[in-house]
């Protein structure tokens, strides 16, 4: 299994293209009346050139679904991975990892998991593309990452006891090695996803330098704890409509799989992920500055409208009105990818009597990432092979 996982996560990939292999201009422009913001005092055109840096365990799969639907609706060109659902993560991103890429190719949207390299990404998009990402409280992110990935991280296999997470946090240096296979899942995962050194300590001056350099590349940084407010800012930034950002929460875990950390363990997790904490603090501050500029009362009204629209779509689309455990999902088209050795990720059943007017939209809103990528034409042979093997070896 480790050999196959190494094949899915190679340390080296194709040679970089030249610095001149860049996209010179936008390849698609929507008419101004395609989408208009609901409460804007100025006219604007919907943004179609978008880089979404998909971070791990941050509700980013829900954002991905929104982008997939918008891109499909407006026939935009995606930069998609080849043979798998990410761009050879954890290797740094290269243009050559894009499906059917040729030097000079231009794309509208790139949004799958990668280890960020702005210089490479910029070759694929017009210069005025909007760069967006999302962050999450590093304690909750660490808890989610540890419980989701620990069976794929050999470092954790020698941790004894029922509560492996607590054992790790009580003595992280005992179980951690920066050079070990998949160790990046255990420390400052946000820093790693952004292409930075995840083994820097919080007081290292390079941490704040890296954060300030990173902030120059992103036009908007969303915050998972304020997901609805984040989507309203996304809508405003991109000049989209409320219908464009409707969503169902995807890839959520069942509550019994979430570890409840004591205040002492939360403090230890925060210290262990100190670089991520400083990054989160920085972008949380910029986020609330954006909310203040948008207007608190206006934000409250927009969030309420989004909730009404989401509730209406859930009543139309979702059987029994909410997510269910994996074993209860009746149609495999809506069965989300599960972590190694368990079925903790919830999904949905679509109502059998959905009106034809809404059926296609319901299906798209309920479709998990793997199946959506397949619908977009990605072969995913490596991902599916790995999935078959993990399910065959482990009892789920």
pTM across the whole model = 0.92
pLDDT value at 40 more than 60: no
pLDDT value at 114 more than 80: yes
Please tell me the predicted confidence (pLDDT) of residue 157. Answer: 94
Please tell me the predicted confidence (pLDDT) of residue 25. Answer: 64
Please tell me the predicted confidence (pLDDT) of residue 29. Answer: 62
| CA neighbor of 287 nearest in space, from 133, 140, 139 | 133
Q: What residues have CB less than 8 Å from 297, skipping those under 6 apart?
A: none
pLDDT value at 183 more than 60: yes
Please tell me the predicted confidence (pLDDT) of residue 334. Answer: 98
- More confident position, 237 or 15: 237
Of the options 3.30.70, 3.90.550, 3.30.1300, 3.40.50, the CATH number for the domain spanning 50-395? 3.40.50
Average pLDDT over every residue of 200-223: 98
Question: Could you tell me the two tokens for 135?
Answer: 């962050």
pLDDT band at 19 (very low <50, low <70, confident <90, very high): very low
| CA neighbor of 56 nearest in space, from 130, 116, 108 | 116
Please tell me the predicted confidence (pLDDT) of residue 201. Answer: 96
pLDDT band at 387 (very low <50, low <70, confident <90, very high): confident
pLDDT value at 26 more than 90: no
Q: Which of 32-46, 137-151, 177-191 has the lowest mean pLDDT?
A: 32-46
Please tell me the predicted confidence (pLDDT) of residue 211. Answer: 98
Over the stretch 268-311, which tens digit does the pLDDT of each residue have?
A: 999 999 999 999 999 999 999 999 999 999 999 999 999 999 99
User: How many CB atoms sit inside 10 A of residue 293's CB?
Assistant: 9
Whether cis (ω within 30° of 0) applies to the bond prior to 22 is no
Question: Could you tell me the two tokens for 39?
Answer: 């409460």
Residue corresponding to tokens 């309203």: 232
Ranges of each domain in the chain: 50-395
Please tell me the predicted confidence (pLDDT) of residue 32. Answer: 46
Instruction: Give me the chain's average pLDDT, please.
Output: 91
């Amino acid at each position: 299994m480790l050999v196959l996982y190494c094949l899915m996560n190679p340390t080296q990939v194709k040679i970089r293209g030249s610095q001149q292999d860049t996209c010179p201009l936008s390849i698609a422009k929507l008419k101004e009346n395609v989408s208009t913001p609901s409460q804007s005092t100025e006219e604007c055109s919907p943004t179609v050139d978008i880089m979404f840096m998909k971070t791990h365990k941050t509700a980013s799969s829900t954002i991905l679904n929104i982008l997939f639907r918008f891109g499909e609706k407006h026939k935009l060109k995606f930069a998609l991975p080849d043979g798998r659902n990410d761009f050879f993560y954890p290797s740094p991103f290269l243009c050559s990892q894009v499906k059917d890429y040729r030097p000079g190719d231009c794309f509208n949207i790139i949004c799958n998991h990668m280890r960020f390299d702005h210089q490479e990404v910029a070759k694929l998009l017009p210069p005025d593309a909007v760069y967006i990402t999302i962050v999450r409280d590093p304690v909750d992110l660490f808890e989610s990452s540890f419980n989701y990935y620990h069976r794929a991280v050999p470092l954790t296999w020698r941790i004894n006891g029922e509560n492996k997470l607590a054992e790790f946090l009580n003595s992280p240096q005992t179980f951690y090695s920066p050079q070990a296979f998949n160790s990046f899942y255990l420390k400052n995962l946000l820093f790693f996803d952004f292409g930075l050194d995840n083994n820097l300590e919080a007081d290292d001056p390079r941490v704040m330098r890296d954060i300030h350099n990173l902030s120059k590349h992103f036009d908007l940084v969303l915050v998972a704890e304020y997901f609805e407010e984040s989507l309203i800012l996304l809508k405003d930034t991109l000049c989209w409509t409320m219908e464009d950002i409707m969503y169902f929460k995807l890839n959520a875990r069942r509550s019994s799989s979430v570890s409840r950390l004591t205040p002492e363990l939360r403090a230890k997790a925060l210290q262990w992920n100190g670089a991520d904490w400083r990054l989160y603090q920085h972008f949380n501050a910029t986020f609330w500055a954006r909310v203040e500029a948008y207007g608190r009362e206006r934000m409250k009204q927009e969030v309420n409208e989004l909730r009404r629209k989401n509730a209406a779509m859930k009543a139309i689309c979702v059987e029994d009105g909410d997510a269910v455990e994996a074993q209860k999902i009746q149609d495999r088209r809506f069965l989300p990818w599960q972590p190694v050795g368990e079925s903790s990720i919830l999904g949905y059943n679509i109502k059998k009597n959905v009106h034809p007017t809404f059926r296609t939209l319901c299906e798209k809103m309920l479709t998990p990432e793997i199946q959506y990528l397949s619908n977009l034409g990605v072969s995913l042979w490596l991902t599916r092979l790995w999935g078959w093997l993990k399910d065959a070896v482990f009892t789920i």
